Structures are given as C-alpha cells and as structure tokens.
Amino acid sequence: MYDRTALRTVAAAKGDARPVDLADRLKVAQATAWRLYHGHTAPSARVAAAVEHAYGLPASALLKQRQAVTEAAA
C-alpha cells in the first residue's frame, strides 16, 4: 500500500511543499504529482525511480506493509 507521508516528508525537507513543486522536481505531469501528493495513486516504477533520484527515498519506503489485513486473515 502506498504511503504518501514518506514522500511528503522528504519533499518538504527539500522545500517542495506543493504538488506543483513535486511535478517540477520529478518531471511528471501536475495531475500525476497531485494524485501522488494526496495519495490517490501509487507511483509507477518510473516515478518511484525519479523519487529515489530526486529525494533519496527508496521505492520500498513508499510502501507500507498491510500487517493489520494480513494478521486479520490468519
């Protein structure tokens, strides 16, 4: 599951406080940046690589484990 908190935290640390800032740094469409910023979509492999390059945040940090769901199913 995509965790937008990690992306927003590293973006803010670099001064990127708005989706448009994210779009500029990641070189993606503003609509894509808005969806990422607000958690409406998970990053593609290409965007996850751009996040790692721009912010140093690995793709694995963008995902959080669904432990509650897994534990409930057991």
Query: Stretch 49-74: mean pLDDT, rounded?
Result: 79
Is the pLDDT confidence value at 7 over 60?
yes
Total-model pTM: 0.81
- Tell me, what's the pLDDT at 64? 78
Q: Which domain holds residue 21?
A: 4-73
Query: Stretch 70-74: mean pLDDT, rounded?
Result: 57
Q: DSSP letters along the chain, please?
A: -B-HHHHHHHHHHTT--SHHHHHHHHT--HHHHHHHHTTSSPPPHHHHHHHHHHH---GGGGB---HHHHHHH-
Quote the distance between the C-alpha of residue 5 and its chain's center. 8
Q: What is the CA radius of gyration of the chain?
A: 13
pLDDT over 70, % of the chain: 86
Domain count, the chain: 1
